[in-house]
Amino acid sequence: MHNRCLSLPLWFLLCPVAMRAQEIVEQPPDAPQLQTQAEQRTPAFNSATTNSPGSLPPDSTGEILTRQQAEQLALRNNPRISVAALLALAQKQVVRETRSALLPTLNGNVTVVDAEEATRISAGSLEASRLLYHAGAGVDLNQLITDFGRTRNLVASSSFQAKASEQQSEATREDIVLATDIAFYNALEAQATLQVAKSTVKARQAVGDQVNALTASKLKSTLDQSFAQVNLSQARLLDLDSQNQFDAAMANLNEVLGTASSQQYKLVDDPSPPLPVAPSAEAVIAIALQKRPDLLALKLNHEADVRFSRAQHEQLLPTISGLGTVGITPVGSSAYFTPDWYGAAGVNVGVPIFNGFKFHAQAAEADLRAKASDEQSRVLINRIVRDVRTVWLRANTAQQKMSVTEELLQEANTALDLADTRYRLGLSSIVELSQAQLQQTQAQIAEANARFDYEVDLAALRFQSGSQP
């Protein structure tokens, strides 16, 4: 009772000083605008709120870029797209090359010979008819009649390879879209973290100025001033690290977009909430096994290997070709070139008899390669099933994390409001306020990261299912 009687006069003595300190606290320079639940006024030591994830930083510069625009730029400028498209076109020319064996071959010849009579019986590999004195011109024709399906199987094999190359080109497009989405959301996450860091520096700078003023007025100790400066230095370190991560993420995004310049963008996320994850992994797996272009490419390559194996077995069969030649010999010995033209037609049948079992070995090799390509398809199917389940689980967890981090941020804001009020009333030390500020900053970063991590997982799930735009 005696202590209470003494405290009452002391309160009246300290009341003007406390009111003066409150005026200093309630009018900080550039103080963040957050209201406490206890008082409808600006708290002194609360940190600044951040905008919604993906919103533009106040000092951002550059061209505005959305995810859809980034994907279009990457598909238009990334050199990997051009390489895949050119290889697909080149493979189509292989089909024409193989099909040319089914068409006739025409060769024109012009021959002029001035030879002595005795050269017709000279030694060597030159044909005697070419050593006669004459001048002539003609055309040779060679037409494949049948090789019992070998060439047609070679054409079919190259056609399947061309289709597989088209699917590989499509798979490259999906790879680029996924890489663009990952780079975009990583840069967007770095942009949001940088925004939080700059807001934190601004808020803690205001707190430091206020504590310095209170210390100068002998209302706070130098320990509070030291803690405020430590908090400000930590915020500046966070700002430096965030700036470095943002610059690195922007460099990675520029590389995916197919440019070597250090282009700066204002990254803008879709304002609509992200789509929910698929209800089960099994439905995504079923879609992936039907649409994945890399799996379709492997199956087409297997069909190509099967047709090539048939063609290699058919090397053991005969080949029947038609031959023809026609021409004129306006100059020549009358003893040998009685008319001034010549012509002949015939049929040639080539039958392989023995070549050291080369054809048998080639056929066996082709059979084994066809079986190996079939096993490669099974390997990819198992990998797709595993990857889809893994990504689905990760996306499902990331979706739950968004609501948890949102609640965490709300609790951190409430805790900071209470810590701020307690510190202004002298009921707690600056250590409690510093801890609340740190927890709010971490919650803000976690809340932004959870949103963009979920977006990345959704992009990966679209890729795994073969449903990229």
- Residue 59: CATH number of its domain: 1.20.1600.10
pLDDT of 342 strictly over 90: no
Residue from 350, 337, 334 nearest 138 by CA: 337
pLDDT of 82 strictly over 90: yes
pLDDT of 90 strictly over 50: yes
- Beta pairing, strands 105-113 & 265-267: unpaired
CA dihedral 147, 150, 155, 161 (to 10 degrees): -170
331 or 56, which is more confident: 331
pLDDT of 126 strictly over 60: no
**C-beta atoms surrounding 53 within 10 Å:** 21
Residue from 440, 452, 26 nearest 269 by CA: 452
Look at residue 43 in the predicted model and tell me its pLDDT.
Answer: 39
CB neighbours of 246 closer than 8 A, spacing ≥ 6? 187, 190, 191, 193, 194
Contact 277, 291 (CB under 8 A): no
Domain presence at residue 328: no
In terms of residue numbers, what domain contains 96? 50-104+149-317+358-465
Q: Can you tell me whether residue 135 is helix, strand or coil?
A: strand
Range 300-319 average pLDDT: 96
Q: How many domains does the chain have?
A: 1
Domain presence at residue 425: yes
pLDDT of 56 strictly over 90: no
Give 48's pLDDT tier (boundaries 50, 70, 90): very low
Look at residue 334 in the predicted model and tell me its pLDDT.
Answer: 74
pLDDT of 134 strictly over 70: yes
Residue from 273, 269, 360 nearest 309 by CA: 360
pLDDT of 234 strictly over 50: yes
163 or 60, which is more confident: 163
Token pair for 448: 């932004």
| CA separation for the pair 30, 399 (Å, rounded) | 36
Range 164-177 average pLDDT: 95
pLDDT of 14 strictly over 70: no
Look at residue 124 in the predicted model and tell me its pLDDT.
Answer: 57
Give 273's pLDDT tier (boundaries 50, 70, 90): confident
Give 18's pLDDT tier (boundaries 50, 70, 90): very low
pLDDT of 344 strictly over 80: yes
Q: Can you tell me whether residue 59 is helix, strand or coil?
A: coil
Range 32-48 average pLDDT: 36
Give 74's pLDDT tier (boundaries 50, 70, 90): very high
Look at residue 271 in the predicted model and tell me its pLDDT.
Answer: 82
Residue from 459, 408, 469, 403 nearest 186 by CA: 459
Look at residue 284 in the predicted model and tell me its pLDDT.
Answer: 93
Q: Which of 50-54, 354-358, 457-461 has the lowest mean pLDDT?
A: 50-54
Look at residue 129 in the predicted model and tell me its pLDDT.
Answer: 58
Range 127-137 average pLDDT: 73
Look at residue 87 in the predicted model and tell me its pLDDT.
Answer: 95
Domain presence at residue 74: yes
Look at residue 121 in the predicted model and tell me its pLDDT.
Answer: 58
| CA separation for the pair 182, 190 (Å, rounded) | 12
| CA 172 to chain CA centroid, nearest Å | 8
Give 7's pLDDT tier (boundaries 50, 70, 90): very low
DSSP 80: H
Domain presence at residue 127: no
Range 284-301 average pLDDT: 94
The gap between the terminal CA atoms of the chain, to the nearest Å, is 78
| CA distances from residue 16 to 13, 20, 214, 217 in whole angstroms, order as listed | 7, 6, 15, 13
Domain presence at residue 213: yes
Domain presence at residue 9: no
CB neighbours of 280 closer than 8 A, spacing ≥ 6? 392
Look at residue 111 in the predicted model and tell me its pLDDT.
Answer: 86
Give 92's pLDDT tier (boundaries 50, 70, 90): very high
Range 188-200 average pLDDT: 92
Domain presence at residue 250: yes
Q: What is the mean pLDDT of the chain?
A: 84
Domain presence at residue 56: yes
| CA separation for the pair 59, 40 (Å, rounded) | 30
| CA distances from residue 87 to 74, 77, 100, 170 in whole angstroms, order as listed | 19, 17, 20, 12
pLDDT digits (tens, 9 = 90+) for 397-445: 999 999 999 999 999 999 999 988 888 888 888 888 888 988 999 999 9
- Neighbour-count burial for 408-439, b at 16+ CB within 10 Å, e otherwise: bbeebbebbbbbbbebbeeebebebbbebbbb
pLDDT digits (tens, 9 = 90+) for 137-153: 999 999 999 999 999 99
Q: Which of 101-110, 118-127, 241-250 has the lowest mean pLDDT?
A: 118-127
